[in-house]
Amino acid sequence: MEIPRACVFRSLKRLEVQIINDEKDQTIFSLENKKVKVKSDMAGALELGKAVAKECLERKIKKAVFDRGGYRYHGMVKAIADGMREGGLEI
């Protein structure tokens, strides 16, 4: 498997990150703020990023390509990426 893609989705009430294997066109796993039990704010986005990194490392995924899904790279999208880096995932 090549490097998987970390795809971000955000709405007013929900933040979600999917780790996708594009070679097989399948989602490896996905996490959202309600599963991790964090709010959809900046601190919650950072914690969601850390939870995604932890899950990736448990599945022996050390690198991922960050797909911001067309959203600007600031605010909660940037906080998710920062949390993933703090969690030990290389993006």
Question: CA 65 to CA 72: how far, in whole Å?
Answer: 16
Q: Considering the chain, what percentage of its residues have pLDDT values greater than 90? A: 89
Average pLDDT of every residue of the chain: 94
The domain segmentation of the chain, as residue ranges, is 5-86
User: CATH classification of 5-86 is 3.40.50.300, yes or no?
Assistant: no
41's tokens? 């704010």
Strand partners, 67: 7
Query: The sheet that has 15-21: what strands, in order across it?
Result: 26-32, 15-21, 5-10, 65-67
Exposed/middle/buried for 12, CB within 10 Å: 0-12, 13-18, 19+? Answer: exposed
Q: What is the pLDDT of residues 29-52, one digit of tens each?
A: 999 999 989 988 999 999 999 999
pLDDT of residue 40: 84
Q: What is the pLDDT of residues 16-26, one digit of tens each?
A: 999 999 999 99
Helices (H), the chain: 33-36, 42-58, 76-86
